[in-house]
Structure 1
Amino acid sequence: MKRLGRAVRGLLGMLAAFAFLVGSWTAAYFILKSLFRRFGAPSSDFVSQLLGILLGFFILFCIGGLISLFSRGRQRAFYIPIMNAIRRIAQGDFTAKVEDVERYGQFGELVEGINEMASELSRMETMRQDFISNVSHEIQSPLTSIRGFARALRSDEISRETREHYLDIIEAESARLSGVSDSLLKLSVLESGNFPFEAKPFRLDKQLRNMILACEPQWMGKGVEVEAELAETTVTAVEDLLSQVWTNLLHNSIKFTPAGGTITISARPLNGGAEVVISDTGTGIGEEDMPRIFERFYKADRARSAGGGGSGLGLSLVKKIIDLHQGEVRAESRAGEGVVFVVTLPGPAGKQQT
């Protein structure tokens, strides 16, 4: 449809140019005829024809100049909204938008592109501001605790038990601060594309078994039962990165599963790759929070997460690592009914760095 419209406009333009040309030559003919009748015609037909051609071109250029002068204002009015929007975007105002896209005809796609660019830049600016705000909050909170309890330790009147309690809190807050810094660094490296993505085949079931044993003090100390169904499964991936994925998911399950609860880990080959399912009988996640759990710093239950020392970066790191492997991670949950995380990794042919 657009091609047909352009073809019609081109044909109309050619017809208009032809009409101007014919009109100019016709006007030149009658003007010269009137002049020759009054002042006499040249003795040579060649001179008469040459004068007619020159006068025809002169009239054509005059008409073109008048049209250009008339349309210059319209062209300026046509481009002013576009230039104003570009200037506002360049100055950091990403709310700029060119209205009435339809009036720009063949330039409509360009105008839509400018609007989409402004919208995307606005979204990125909002994310940047939220990120800075969240980082500041996550760093400020443990620093405030450390400073407060360090100041309290200066008192000679506190008991040994209280002093030990304060020192435990300072140590825990320091570990939390270190965890935030480490997660941010890992996310930054992964997103910059500087991480050496060297995928190699390895036994996923053995890795998961080792991760479960490494977390044994945590889940046994809390009185949580862990069940594993690990079929022999080989994947081609970056082993260290996947180790980070299982660590974060297992620690989340242990953290939010009460004593007497159960965590189940299963792994099986799937279409040349693998599927890993980690489920628990913990507190679960509300339906309204599910779409946002992989966002940086997002905590489905902020009071509970803060008490557990979480930074809200673990699941965003999991999502980034699985995306780098061109896999998929999804969660299923209802508040009070536990959480199920399903991680799907593609076969070797699909392992390419994004």
Structure 2
Amino acid sequence: MAFTLVRRKAAAAQERGSLPAGPLAAVLAVALLAALTAAVAWGSTSIPPGEVWSVVWRRLSGEAPRPGTDDLIVWQLRVPRALLAALVGAGLGVVGTAVQALVRNPLADPYLLGISNGASLGAVAAIVLGLGAGGALGLGLSGAAFAGALATFALVWAVARRGGGFAPLRLVLAGVAIGQFLSGFTSYLVLQAGDEQQTHSVLFWLMGSLSGATWELLALPAVAVPAALLWLQARARGLNALLMGDETAAGLGIDVTRLRRELFTVTSVLTGVLVAASGAIAFVALMVPHVCRLVVGGDHRRLLPVSALFGALLVVVVDIVCRTAMDTQELPVGVVTSLLGAPALLYLLDRRLGSGS
């Protein structure tokens, strides 16, 4: 009887405040397409949307590009950046949703596990030690960041697994402790930067930036983000069960320990891929699942795709603001997401506390 009541209560919580996910996803997809078009068209040199799509169509159809600067600006500079913004936003939305289910905490995000700190340390070491262009280790900036993320994943995994089991609290504490240690070491490396330009590059990267987007850089996120979304979507039932508690999830036939282990692996690798591509972009992975959960409910079958679309739309729009808000310089993406995310999260928390949910 108690088991039935818990299951019904959890199901009711998942449905609370939900809107039809299909029409909402269609609206978000159209808005994302419009935002991508605007991201390519707007900038220091404005290009009409019709010309943007003409350049894209010619490239995709294999036609020879027309001479001039529009093709270079659209295809080589702005399209990769807009697509990277969408992929990073979608990935952050998905990974934030998964981590909140993993640790059963709606205030969790992937950076809580320390993975982003490891990626940041790898990238900062590459910049300060002069390995950003391929250097002695042949890693490059993104490669060094990803290597740092994987090394941190292995360390957090080893600490969290000490004594057996896979408790969410031990995982979070291990991630926070190791993440803070790596953050301190990163700060030390920043102080060792050899010149002002090097320090500026480090700080800009730590606050998130899409300015280094290239077609080559897109390859790994273009594979990792859809693959992670499909994998998580196939386990949406298990994610729903985790929110009910371990005993209830086990009663529903879920291997809780195995699912948590797989979730930690997937979210850690995806976080490393995203941070390696764009630096540390704050608040997106924390805020997007909250907003989407209020709209479509807590059922991960609906929540995951809507979070991916909304996250992609948010980061594309934020990147437009970062490129166009100031004439003399570009704003780091993480600065704008923090300025937007902190008030939005406070509003959502106040609303939840006020409603008693």
TM-score bracket, shorter-length normalisation: under 0.3
Taking structure 2 as the reference length, the TM-score comes to: 0.26
RCO higher in structure (CA 8 A, sep ≥6):
2
Rg bigger for which structure? 1
Taking structure 1 as the reference length, the TM-score comes to: 0.26
